[in-house]
Amino acid sequence: MRNLILACEILEDEIKKALSAAENQDPIIWIDSSLHMFPQKLHDKLQEEIDRLDSEGEDSLGSPQNILLSFGYCGNAVVGLKSAKSNLVFPQANDCIDLFLYKNEDKITIRSSGCYFLTRGWLKSQYSIVNEYDRYLEKYGQKKTDRIMDVMLSHYQCFTLLDTGAYPVEDFTPIASEAARKLNMQLCTKKGNIQQLIKLFSEDWDEDFCIIPHNSQVTLDHFSHLNLSPAQGQIL
C-alpha cells in the first residue's frame, strides 16, 4: 500500500472534496476532532495509530509507504511523531485555518483582525462554542453564562464563516447568524480554499510540505519558517 491518510474528523467536508479533486482513493483513519482541545492527547493518538500501522499495517496490506497527515503544527501535536516503516507527509501550516487560507496574501491581516473562524464541520461539532454556550446556559443560567462567554470571546470581534468550497455556505449562514446572535458577535464570510489538501492527496509535495523519512522524527525545525505564536481564531 502506497499511502494511508490520518485525517481530522472536523475537516471531513474539505477532505472528501479534496480527495475527489485529486482522484484519490487512499484509505482513511479518522481522528476524533475533540482531541484538538488537548494537543498532547492528539499527539498521543496520532502516534498510537502510527505505531499500530508500523506493527500491523492496514487490512493485512502491510505498512503504507507514506502516511499523509491532514494536520498542521496544531499546538505542538505533531512534533515528535515518528514511524519506523512509513514516511510522514504533512502540510507546512500552523493549523487548519492556515490550510484554508493557503496562498491568501491577506492571511496575516485576516488572522490578526479578531476573527473567530467557523466552518460547517465546526458548527456540527458537539464541542463548538455554540454547544458550549447551550451547556453552560443549562448548567449556570443566563448571567453566569454571559460572563463566561465574555471572557472566552474577549479577543474576538466577529465570527467568520469560511467558505472553503466544500459545502454550500449559504445553507449554513443562518446557523452561523444564530450563533452570532446568541453570543452578541458580528458575522462575516471569507473565501477559503482546499488547494493545499488537494496537493497533499495528489502527491504534489513541494516546499509547502514536510516529508519525514521513516525512522526520523518531526521536530520544531520543520516549522521554522512559520509563526507559531498563538494565533487568533478557532483551531478547527
DSSP secondary structure letters along 26-53: --EEEE-GGGGGSHHHHHHHHHHHHHHH
Is residue 231 included in any domain, yes or no? no
Is residue 233 included in any domain, yes or no? no
Is residue 229 included in any domain, yes or no? no
Q: How far apart are the first and last CA of the chain?
A: 30
CA distance linking residue 162 with residue 140, whole number of Å: 31
Is residue 154 included in any domain, yes or no? yes
pLDDT of residue 109: 86
Based on the domain organization, do 18 and 64 belong to the same domain? yes
Could you tell me the residue range of the domain that residue 7 belongs to? Answer: 3-94+194-223
Number of helices (H) and strands (E), helices first, in the chain? 9, 8
Is residue 68 within 8 Å of 200, Cβ to Cβ?
A: yes
Based on the domain organization, do 157 and 212 belong to the same domain? no
Q: What is the pTM of this model?
A: 0.91
pLDDT of residue 59: 59
Based on the domain organization, do 85 and 200 belong to the same domain? yes
Is residue 233 within 8 Å of 115, Cβ to Cβ?
A: yes
Is residue 101 within 8 Å of 221, Cβ to Cβ?
A: no
Nearest CA-CA partner of 89 in 4, 29, 190: 4
CA distance linking residue 173 with residue 188, whole number of Å: 9
Report how far apart, in Å, the C-alpha atoms of 100 and of each of 23, 40, 70, 165, 194 are.
Answer: 20, 23, 12, 10, 6
pLDDT of residue 192: 95
Is residue 83 included in any domain, yes or no? yes
pLDDT of residue 140: 96
Burial 149-167 (b: 16+ CB within 10 A, else e): beeebeebeebbbbbbbbb
What are the grid coordinates assigned to 22, written together? 485529486
Q: Using DSSP bridges, classify how beta strands 209-212 and 87-91 pair: parallel, antiparallel or unpaired.
A: antiparallel
Based on the domain organization, do 138 and 208 belong to the same domain? no
Based on the domain organization, do 103 and 186 belong to the same domain? yes
Based on the domain organization, do 217 and 181 belong to the same domain? no
- Total structural domains within the chain: 2
pLDDT in tens, 16-28: 999 999 999 999 9
Based on the domain organization, do 200 and 90 belong to the same domain? yes
Is residue 230 included in any domain, yes or no? no
Which residue numbers in the chain have pLDDT < 70? 1, 57-61, 228-236
Is residue 232 included in any domain, yes or no? no
Based on the domain organization, do 142 and 212 belong to the same domain? no
